[in-house]
Amino acid sequence: MTCKDFQNHWKGGVGTSVDLLPQSTEMAEHARACPECGGFVRGEHLLKKQLDSLRAAVPEVPPSLDAAVAGNYRRYLAERPVAIDRPSWRAHLANALPWAAALAFAAIVAYGTIVFFVPHSSTGWAQGKDRIPTGQIPVPVRAEKQPPVAAIRKAHRGRRAPNPGGNIEVARRDDSIPRAFQSLVYCDQISCPGAMEVIRVQLPAPVLGFAQSPARAGGMVSADVVVGTDGIARGIRVTE
């Protein structure tokens, strides 16, 4: 056994107790043979003796301690109902805090979901129709001067004479009725998100700037209105 082995055995707890040393013959022999390790063992013996004397010098637990601790326990029992049955406001706060935090978090998440993922509430076509501001309905230019569509069709019915000039005129007159959708508000991908819906409505002819005519039943005009998901009309096309 080398000195290193001896130290390792000692350090590892094998020979930490000097009482065990004589039992380990190999270690004892090495301690006898090696002056350094022998000195180390003698030092440990001495230290053990000194620690033993220190341990022996500890006083016994004083009897007054028993009485004091028993008194403290009875005082604890006397105060205990207050402490247990009526928890302090701090305890209430400590209990409520996680719930409050959870509720606040849930509210934030719900708000975020509504703002970012749910499109603006669609209130139905009827409400959307009601919401069309009359001021925004485009009034066709020269609408009063243009004959209504039905009147033009009636006038041209049966007329087949090749009159290029006349055809041009009719065509021009037909074009005067807006066939394409006319924008009611500015609309692009950002301001008009989501799918559009086309609904057919009947509006009083004067509202669209058409003159009352007996050709129109009840003076109503049919129109296709493009309504966004928010219920606001984006465009209109007069059909009849």
Between 77 and 115, CB nearer to other proteins:
77
Taking CB under 8 A as the criterion, the residue among 25, 35, 61, 214 binding other proteins is: 61
Under DSSP, is residue 233 helix (H, G, I), strand (E, B) or coil? strand
Selection from 228, 227, 229 nearest residue 201 by Cα: 227
- Check binding of 85 to other proteins (CB under 8 A): no
- Check binding of 51 to other proteins (CB under 8 A): yes
Q: Which stretch binds other proteins (CB under 8 A): 58-66, 120-128, 137-145, 191-199?
A: 58-66
- Check binding of 55 to other proteins (CB under 8 A): yes
Residue with tokens 């403290």: 72
Tell me the H-state helices in the chain. Answer: 3-11, 25-33, 35-56, 63-85, 89-116, 124-131, 149-156, 164-176
Contacts of 15 (CB under 8 A, 6+ apart): 6, 9, 21, 24, 27
CB of 7 to other proteins, least distance (A): 9
- Check binding of 165 to other proteins (CB under 8 A): no
- Check binding of 127 to other proteins (CB under 8 A): no
Which one-letter DSSP state was computed for residue 199?
E
- Which residues of this chain interact with other proteins, rule CB under 8 A? 10-13, 16, 43-44, 46-47, 50-51, 53-62, 64-66, 68-70, 72-74, 76-77, 80
